[in-house]
Amino acid sequence: MSTARPTLFLLHGWAMESRIFSPWINALAGDFRCQSWDLPGHGGKPCPPQGLDWEESLLTLQGAVEALSRPVVLGWSLGGLFALALALRFPELLGGLVLIDSSPCFVQREDWPWALTSSALDAFAHELLADGRAVRRRFLALQTQGDPAARAQLAAAQRWPLPDPRCLLDGLQLLRDKDLRPQLRPLPFPVLILQGEADRIVPPAAARQLQSSLAGSRLQLLKAGHAPFLSHPEACSQALRSTFYHD
């Protein structure tokens, strides 16, 4: 990639919104033109009648990315699932891919133990119907377990408006159902995988498996939980610079 400032298109995770990236974007602004995007039902966006629909969301993302002229697409957690699917389906539209604590398959399968159990997602879905804010608190606690720096950064998110429960339920269903492993293949642009070593949602072994399936990709492990861009912003920024800039 040239030394011109690349465009960075950021996708947030489940129950979050694009402003989760705001502190980090301030640090990245000198190197990247940053644009973040809210999933349907999140960040004040209405949840459409079809909910958080996989195909509709990918088509909307296709249009947004196409308008940016081959950006680097960055996805965190559920946002990474969308980013990876976008890269696999429309590789000609991207100039790079960054996956932060994400996975091609978020739920355990017989041949994929490096994930959440289906019962854990069932519990989140059941509790969401009773008390959405309590579920988000518990999910945030899980994300930041063993990572006090990220916990402090995420504390403000507790006060944000809760995303639409219909779209939250759809997001859990996508995490349960989607398995992109059969589609994985080398991609024609730089791919960076950032992974917290203490992540309780996406184990580091899942990131290693993902790297091996995306031949030529780069994996960087960080002493962090599920949100290393909050707890270790400079290390994450430097990883982006070294991947998408060259002399």
- Active-site residue list: 77, 199, 226
SS3 string of 144-210? CCCCHHHHHHHHHHHHCCCCCHHHHHHHHHHHHHCECHHHCCCCCCCEEEEEECCCCCCCHHHHHHH
What six digits make up the tokens of 132? Answer: 């959405």
- Cβ contact 227:101 at 8 Å: yes
**Runs of H (alpha helix) within 67-147:** 78-89, 118-130, 132-143
- Cβ contact 225:145 at 8 Å: yes
Neighbours of 247 (CB within 10 A): 3
CA distances from 117 to 85, 112, 121 (A): 22, 11, 7
For the chain, give the number of residues.
247
What is the helix (H) or strand (E) element at residue 35, kind and residue range? Answer: strand 33-37
